[in-house]
Amino acid sequence: MTTVPGTTPYPWPWHGRFDPVRLALLAVACPHPADRGQVVDPGHPVEVLAGQVRGAGGLIISVRVRPPGWPPAPPAEAPPRRPDQVVHAAGWDGFHGSDLDSVLRAAGRDLLLLAGCCLELGVHSTMRAANDRGYECLLVEDACGSAAPDLRQGALSTIEMSGGIFGAVGSRSAVATLMERS
């Protein structure tokens, strides 16, 4: 059994079979909906996380989401700077109108870390969709930015309902510990 220590509400992944060759980081980036499309930047934490994940053999995917109907022009500056792959979605859900599912399947990655921005919008929609498709998901809480800080805790608690209904929640240091071990 290899799991992340300290994740809630269960030690991630639930099946205890962590393996970095099955791991992908989804770094979600969205234009700020109320601010002319400027990227909401969660900043340094995503770069740090990407470095840890890449070092252990995980795949780094930049997932560019957007409000429905917005043009696909992507935020050039969205972290992390050098993803292995860039995926463009046609809505807040990174799987909608994109090849994200194809990319993950072809690469054999079914353990997903979620980070980026915005926690309540694109990250949440993408995590819900990933969970529906059978992916085992961990949201890395301190690598996510919020568009509405007062809704942040509710968004996290919703993931943790009923023993982890959409997956688990953890921190960068928890992930780092797991990466070092594996």
Residues that bind a second copy (CB under 8 A): 33-34, 67-69, 72, 88-93, 96-103, 105-106, 120-121, 124-125, 128-129, 131-134, 147-148, 150-151, 153-155, 157-158, 161-163, 165-166
Nearer to a second copy, 96 or 142 (CB): 96
121 versus 175: smaller Cβ distance to a second copy: 121
Rounded CA separation 118/54 (Å):
22
- Nearest approach in angstroms of CB 90 to a second copy is 4
How far apart CA 93 and CA 140 sit, in angstroms, is 17
Could you tell me the smallest distance in angstroms from the CB atom of residue 181 to a second copy?
Answer: 27
Residue 106: C-alpha distances to residues 110, 115, 127, 179 (Å): 10, 22, 19, 23
Distance in Å, CB of 71 to a second copy, minimum: 10
CA distances in angstroms from 81 to 22, 41, 86, 112, 171, listed in the order given: 22, 12, 11, 19, 21
Within a 10 A sphere around the Cβ of 108, how many other Cβ atoms? 11
| CA pair distance 82, 128, nearest whole angstrom | 26
Question: Angle formed by the axes of helices 172-181 and 44-56, to 10°?
Answer: 20
Q: How far is the CB of 104 from a second copy (least distance, A)?
A: 11
Report how far Cα 150 is from the mean position of its chain's Cα atoms. Answer: 20
Indicate the residue among 9 and 51 with the shorter CB distance to a second copy: 9
Nearer to a second copy, 55 or 68 (CB): 68
Q: Which is nearer to a second copy, 76 or 134 (CB)?
A: 134
Compute the least distance from the CB of residue 182 to a second copy, in Å: 24
